[in-house]
Structure 1
Amino acid sequence: MHPIQHAQSRPDHPAIIMAGSGYTVTYGEMDQAANRFAQLLRARGFAPDDAFAVLLENTHHFFTLVWGSQRAGTLLVPISSRLTAPEISYIIKDSGAKLLVTSRGFDDVMEEVRKDCGDLDILVIGGEGEEDFEAALAAHSSQPIADPRAGLTMLYSSGTTGRPKGVRPPPPLDPDPQAIIPFIGLATMGAGMPADGSMVYLSPAPLYHAAPLAWCSAAQRLGGTIVIMEKFEPETALAAIEKYKVTDSQWVPTHFVRMLKLDPAIRSKYDLSSHRRALHAAAPCPVPIKREMIEWWGPIVNEYYAGSEGIGMTLIHAADWLTHPGSVGRAIYGKLHICGPDGEEVSAGKDGLIYFENDHMPTYHNDPDKTAEAMHPKGWMTIGDIGHVDEDGFLYLTDRKSHMIISGGVNIYPQEVENLLVSHEKVMDAAVIGAPDPDFGEKVVAVVQPLDMAEAGEALEAELRDYLAPQLARIKMPRLFDFRPELPREANGKLYKRELRDEYAAKAQPTG
C-alpha cells in the first residue's frame, strides 16, 4: 500500500483537501508532483541520506516534499513555524541541510536566515527567479527516478526544555519506497483505520510535528483522503467534520478543551455522524475533559502515547479507558519498563521513568551525550516521562521529569495541578511551573489563561483556590496565580514552559 499504487489504480481520488479553501489534490496529481521533486533532488546532487529542510505553513505542497523525499531516499527535516530566525538557522546547520523549501509566509524571518546560512540553496513557494519553487518543479520530469529508495524524516524536539535536538531515525528496514512499514500495522490493527481507501482523515494540527505528519502519511498509504486545516479553530473543526464527512481524526487535549468551551448551541449545530475514530495524544488528557468528550462524541475517542523518537507506543480505546480512567493504554509497539532512580524496575503502581525496549533505536543527531543520557544500561530508551503501570499492564503518565518542581524538598508534578485548573469552567488554559524561592528552593506558580480575561483578578484567584483546595495537598497549592490572555503553547499542543521558567528566573535575579 503506497500512494504510487493508489495513483495508478485511482488517479482521480482526492489525496488532499485543504479544509478552508476546499482546494483538492488527486493521487495522480500528487504522484506527478512527488516524482518531479525527486527528479529535482537528484538534479541538484542529492544522494541518499542527504538532508533538506522544510519551513512551511499547513499546505498541500508538504506532501509533494514528503513523497518526493520518500522516493529519493533523502532526509526530510521539518522546522516548526513558531521558531525564531536563529533557531531556524541552528536546525538548518545542525542537520546539514543542503536545501530549504519555504514560502512567502516566512519572509519576516528569511532575511536573517539567509545571512546566517550563507550559500544555502533556497526554494520559495510563491518566490521569484532562481528561488521560484513552482518553476523549479515544473522544469523536471514527472516520470519516476531511476534509482528509487525510501527516505527518512528527522524531527527536532520542540525545544520546550532547551535547544532543539534532532532525532535521527534508524535506517529503514527495507529500502524499497513501496515496502510496507510497521506503522501501517499500528494504524490498521491498533487504531482501526480502514485499508480500503474509504478513510477521510482530518488533521487540525501543524504538519511539521511528528504525529500529524506520521498519521497523514499513513492515511495516504492506505488510500484515504486527508483534510488539512490551515489553522485550528474549534468551530471550524466541527464544520470540517460535517462538510467533508470525516471518518478519522487526530487531536491534542488543548483541542478538546477549546471545543468543549464552545457554546452548547454551537457544539450541537454540526452533524458528526460520519466520525468513526478520534485519536489523541501529545499530552496527558485531564480525566474530566476526556470523559466529557466520550459523552459528546461517543466511544470513538481513542488515545495513544508515543514520541518523536519512535521507540514505542501504547494505545487505549474508549471502552478500556472508561474502566481505566487516566490511562494511555497498554504497549502495542516496544516493551514497557518503569524504572526508579537506581535503574531497577519498580513494582506495579509505583512511579518511575518510562523506558521502551525495542530492536530499532534512534540517536540524537550530533549529541552523543543526550543519546547516552536517554539510554538504560540494558539498552532501553526513555524520552523523559514519569509514570506507572497498573496490575493490568495499563500505563499512566504522571509528568515530564524535566517539569518536576522541588519545593521544600518535596517533589511536585505540575500536570496534576494543570489538569484540575483546565477542568474549571472559567479556565481556558493553564501552566504550572516552579519559580525560584529563597525559603523553599522553588514555589509553585500557576500561569492561567481565563476564558474571559475581564474576569482575571483576585476574585477569580480566590475561586480557583477554593476549587483546588479539596482536591490538592497544601504543598501543591500554587503560591502565586498569574493571569494572562495567552500561554506560549505550540500549535501541536506542547507548552513552552521553559519560556515561563526563564521569565521567572530572570525576575528573581538581583538587580544593580
Structure 2
Amino acid sequence: MSTFFDVAEQHPDRLAVLAPDGTAATFGELAARANRLTHALRRLGLGEGDGVVAIVHNGLPYFELLFATLQAGMYFTPVNYRSSPAEIAYVVENSGARVVVADADIARGCDLDVPRFSVGATEGWGDYASWGEDEPSTAPEPRTAGQTMLYTSGTTGRPKGVRRALSGKPPSLHPIHRDLMAMFGVEPGPGVHLVACPLYHAAPGSFAVNAMHLGHSAVLMDRFDAEETLRLVEEHQVTGTHLVPTMFHRMLRLPEDVRRRYDLSSLVSVIHGAAPCPREVKERMIRWLGPVVHEYYGASEGLICGVTASEWLAAPGTVGRPLTGVRLKITDDDGAELPDGEPGTIWFSSAHTAIDYLGDPGKTAAARSGEFITVGDFGYRDDAGHVFLLDRRTDLILSGGVNIYPAEIEARLLSHPDVADAAVIGEPDEEWGQRVVAVVEPVPGVAGDDALAVRLAEHCRAELAGFKTPKRFDFTDRLPRTESGKMMRRTLRKT
C-alpha cells in the first residue's frame, strides 16, 4: 500500500506542496525535511507517544511537522491559529506536548514552558527554519506510525483531545480512508488536491494527507474565496478538493458569467461534509459540476458513511450507507435499538473509532455504549440502509412536545435569494417550552428589516408546517461559523 514516504522515494521530483506564498516543495524535498525534523525531535528526547503541537497557517511547516511525527510514533496536534494564548496554553498542557511550533504572529503572544520554535523571528523562541538543518536527511529507524490527535470543537465545555492508540506498525493509509478515496474516484498516481479550508480542521487536513499518500500534489489557499477557487482549479488542473456547504453557497452566488468563465473539467472529486448541506444547494452543485460532488459523514472521532453523487441523486438527502467495517445503530433515549425509519441517536463502531477523550474518562464513558460511540447526532436509516441526518441532539427544538429540526428550516431559508446564511435556534417559551428563532445574514445590499422578515416567514410557510416557521427573525452582518462550516450555536444562544 502506497504512502507519502513511498511516493517520495519513487517520485522525488513530483510537486508535493504549493503554499499560498508561492513556496513549494517536491515529495523528495518534503520527505528530507520531515526526516531531519524527526531526528531533531528525538534529539530533544521525544519518543513514541510524545506530542507536538503546531499553531500554523496553511503552508509547508504543517506538512513537515505532520510527516515528521507520523513516522516517529508521535502525536501531532494542529491548533486553530485564531485561538487565544490561554486556549493554546490549555491544549499544550492538556495534551502533554513536548514541543510547540507556531507562526511568529502567534508565538509573540504565547508564553509556554516547553521547547518551542517560531516560523519567523520571535524573541524567546527557537528558529524553526534552521531547526534540524544539521540532522541527517535519511529516514529514521525504526519508522513507526504516529497519529494526529485533534481536539473537539468544544461546543459543550472545553475541547477534548480525540486520542487513538498507536499501532507500532510502519506508517500507512488506513483502509477506511483508502476505500473512501477510491469510492470518490481518487486513485493513486498524479493528481492535484486543492486545500481551500484551514488544515488544522479534521477533514481538510485528513483529505489533503490522504491525497498525498496516493501521490497527489497539494495546492494550498490561505483563505477561501469563491472565484479564486475556480481560478485555481483551472490554473492547476485540480482533480479533487474538500469544501463545506457554506462554500458551495458562496460559489453558487457568483454571477453566471463568472462561473462559466473557468474550465473546471479537470475535477473528478469535490468532497464535502462537516456540516449539513441543504438539498437544493447540493442539487445545484451537481447540475453545475456534474456527478463529482461526493459526501461523507463523520467526525473527529471517526468516519461513518459515504455517498457518491449518483447514489445521492437516487436517495436525495442521504449521507450514505455505513462504510466497510463500520457498524451503525440508532437508539431511543433508553438505549433501545430502533427499527428502520424511526429517528433516534446515531451510534457507530469500527476499528477506526477506538478512541478516548484525553483526560476525560467521564466524557469517554458518556459517549460509549459497549463498542459503539456517539457524537450526539440524531437521524434515521431507511430500509435500503441509507442514513439521513436530522440534527445534533443538542440542537433539537422541543415546542409543544414536538421535535423541530433546525437544519430543515435553515435549508428552506438558504433557498431564498435574499439570504446569505441562516441559523435556527430554540428560545425559552412559557407556553410551548421553546419557540423557533431564526438569525439571518442577508446578502449584501438587502436590508435586514421587518419587510425581509415578512418575506422570509411567507417563504417558510410555503413549504414548512406552521409550527416550524420562525416566530422571530433577527438579522446580523455575519453569522459565527467555524472555518469547517459548523455553526457556533452556543455563541448565538448567548447573544
- Under TM normalisation by the shorter chain, which class is it? over 0.9
Counterpart amino acid of residue 5 in structure 1 = D
Query: Within 5 A, what are the aligned runs for 1:324-473?
Result: 324-333=315-324, 334-360=326-352, 361-376=354-369, 378-452=370-444, 454-473=446-465
What letter matches 1:122 in structure 2? R
1:171 paired to 2:166: yes
Partner of 1:506: none
In structure 1, the partner of 2:305 is: 314
Within 5 Å, give how 1:79-98 maps onto structure 2: 79-98=79-98
| Counterparts of 1:87 and 1:401, CA distance in 2 | 26
Structure 2 counterpart of 1:6: 7
2:78 maps to which residue?
78
Q: Distance between the aligned counterparts of 2:101 and 2:427, measured in 1? A: 40
Partner of 2:186: 193
In 2, Cα distance between equivalents of 1:34 and 1:120: 21
Unaligned 5+ segments in structure 1 are 504-512
- Summarize the alignment of residues 53-202 of structure 1 with structure 2, pairs less than 5 Å apart: 53-107=53-107, 110-111=108-109, 113-114=110-111, 117=112, 119-128=113-122, 130-172=125-167, 175-177=169-171, 179-195=172-188, 197-202=189-194
Distance 2:7 2:312 in 1: 35
The alpha carbon displacement at 1:491 in A equals 0.8
User: Which residue does the alignment assign to 1:507?
Assistant: none
Contact kept, 8 Å, 1:160 with 1:495, in 2: the verdict is no
2:41 matches 1:48: no
Q: Deviations over 1:332-391 (max 9, x none)?
A: 141111111121111111111111122451111111111111112x42111110111111
Cα deviation code 1:63-99 (max 9, x no counterpart): 0011000122111111112322222221111111122
CA distance in 1, matches of 2:35, 2:446: 54
Q: Distance in 1 between matches of 2:173 and 2:312?
A: 30
Q: CA deviation at 1:180?
A: 4.6
Cα separation, 1, equivalents of 2:156 and 2:437: 17
Q: What's the offset of the Cα at 1:436?
A: 3.0
2:61 maps to a residue whose letter is H
Question: Residue type of the partner of 1:170?
Answer: A
Post-superposition CA distance 1:427-456 (Å, at most 9, x none): 111111122334433322211111125421
8 Å contact kept, 1:57–1:105: no
Q: Does 2:257 match 1:270?
A: no
Q: Are 1:486 and 2:486 matched, yes or no? A: no
SS in 2 for 1:134: coil
- C-alpha change, 1:498 and 1:288, in structure 2 (3 Å) is same
CA distance in 1 between partners of 2:243 and 2:141 (Å): 39
- Give the Cα separation in 1 of the matches to 2:464 and 2:233: 38
Structure 1 residue 128: Cα displacement: 4.5
Of residues 198-207 and 82-91 in structure 1, the stretch that sits farther from structure 2 once superposed is 82-91
Report deviation, 1:145: 2.3
The one-letter code matched in structure 2 to 1:363 is D
Residues 78-132 of structure 1: per-residue CA shift (max 9 Å, x gap): 111232222222111111112211102325xx52x31xx4x22211101246521
Of the candidates 295, 299, 304, which is equivalent to residue 303 of structure 1?
A: 295
Compute the TM-score of the two structures, normalised by the length of structure 2. Answer: 0.96
The match for 2:37 is: 37
User: TM-score by structure 1 length?
Assistant: 0.92
Task: Give the Cα separation in 2 of the matches to 1:313 and 1:203.
Answer: 22
Aligned to 2:130, the other structure's residue is in SS state: helix
Q: Deviations over 1:271-329 (max 9, x none)?
A: 1011111111111110000000000001111111111111x421111111111000011
Aligned counterparts of 1:301 and 1:165: Cα–Cα separation in 2: 32
Distance 2:318 2:140 in 1: 46
Looking at structure 1, the residues matched to 21 and 57 of structure 2 have their Cα atoms a distance apart, in angstroms, of 15
Distance 1:161 1:419, change over 3 A: farther
Whether contact under 8 Å (2:412, 2:460) holds in the other structure is yes
- Tell me how large the CA RMSD over aligned residues is: 1.6
The whole-number CA distance in structure 1 between the counterparts of 2:46 and 2:351 is 29
Q: Secondary structure at the match of 1:211?
A: helix
The equivalent residue for 2:230 is 238
Q: Please, which moves more after superposition, 62-71 or 478-487? A: 478-487
What corresponds to 1:260 in structure 2? 252
Q: What amino acid is aligned across from residue 365 of structure 1 in structure 2? A: L
Q: Which amino acid in the other structure matches residue 154 of structure 1?
A: M
More deviation in 415-424 or 435-444? 435-444
% identical equivalent positions? 38
Measure how far apart 1:43 and its partner are: 0.9
SS state at 1:238 partner: helix
Question: Corresponding residue for 1:222?
Answer: 214
Answer whether contact 1:161 1:402 (CA < 8 A) is retained. no
Give the SS at the match of 1:120: coil
Q: d(CA) in 1 for partners of 2:132 and 2:415? A: 49
In structure 1, the partner of 2:201 is 209
2:3 aligned partner, one-letter code: H
CA shift, 1:158, in A, is 1.3
In the TM superposition, residue 423 of structure 1 has moved relative to its aligned partner by 1.5
Indicate conservation of the 8 Å contact 2:99/2:115, yes or no.
yes
- Rounded to whole Å, the distance in 2 between the matches of 1:72 and 1:423 is 48
